Amino acid sequence: MAQAHPQTQTHTAEDRLPVRRQSGALVPVLAFAGIVVAVMQTLLVPVVKDLPELLDTSPGNATWVLTSTLLSGAVATPIMGRLGDLYGKRRMLIASLAVMVAGALVSAFTSELLTMIVGRTLQGFAMGVIPLGIGLMRDLLPRERLGSAMALMSSSIGVGGGLALPLAALVAQHADWHTLFYGSAAMGAVSIPLILLTVPESPTRAGGGFDALGALGLSLGLVLFLLPITKGADWGWASGTTLGLFAASLMVLLLWGVFELRSKAPLVDLRTTARREVLLTNIASIMVGVSFYVVSLVLPQLLQLPVTTGYGLGQSLVVTGLCMAPLGLVMMFTAPVYARLSARYGPRSTLVTGLLIIAIGYGAGLGLMSAAWQTVVVSVVLGTGIGLAYSSLPALIVGAVDPSETGAANGLNTLMRSIGTSLSSAVIGMVLASTANQVNGVAVPTLHGFRISFLIATAAVALGLLLALFLPRRRPSGQGTLASSATRPADADSPVPATATATTGS
- Summarize the confidence of residues 439-453 as an average pLDDT: 81
Q: Residue 22: what pLDDT?
A: 54
Over residues 154-205, the pLDDT tens digits come to: 777 777 777 777 788 788 778 888 999 999 999 999 999 999 999 998 888 8
Highest mean pLDDT among 19-28, 261-270, 356-365: 356-365
Q: Residue 474: what pLDDT?
A: 56
Residue 114 CA: distances (Å) to CA of 62, 121, 442: 10, 11, 28
Q: Beta-strand (E) ranges in 105-261? A: none
How far is the C-alpha of 461 from the C-alpha of 469, rounded, in Å? Answer: 12
Q: Beta-strand (E) ranges in 17-65? A: none
Cβ distance 131 to 81 under 8 Å? Answer: yes
Q: Residue 441: what pLDDT?
A: 66
Q: Residue 319: what pLDDT?
A: 84
* Confidence label for 107 from pLDDT (cuts 50, 70 and 90): very high
Q: Is 443 helix (H, G, I), strand (E, B) or coil?
A: strand
Q: Residue 2: what pLDDT?
A: 43
> Above 50 in pLDDT, residue 497?
no
- Summarize the confidence of residues 351-359 as an average pLDDT: 92
Query: Quick one: what percent of the chain has pLDDT higher than 70?
Result: 88
> Above 60 in pLDDT, residue 260?
yes
How far is the C-alpha of 212 from the C-alpha of 282, rounded, in Å? Answer: 24
Cβ distance 228 to 235 under 8 Å? Answer: yes
**Bridge partners of residue 442, in order along the sequence:** 439
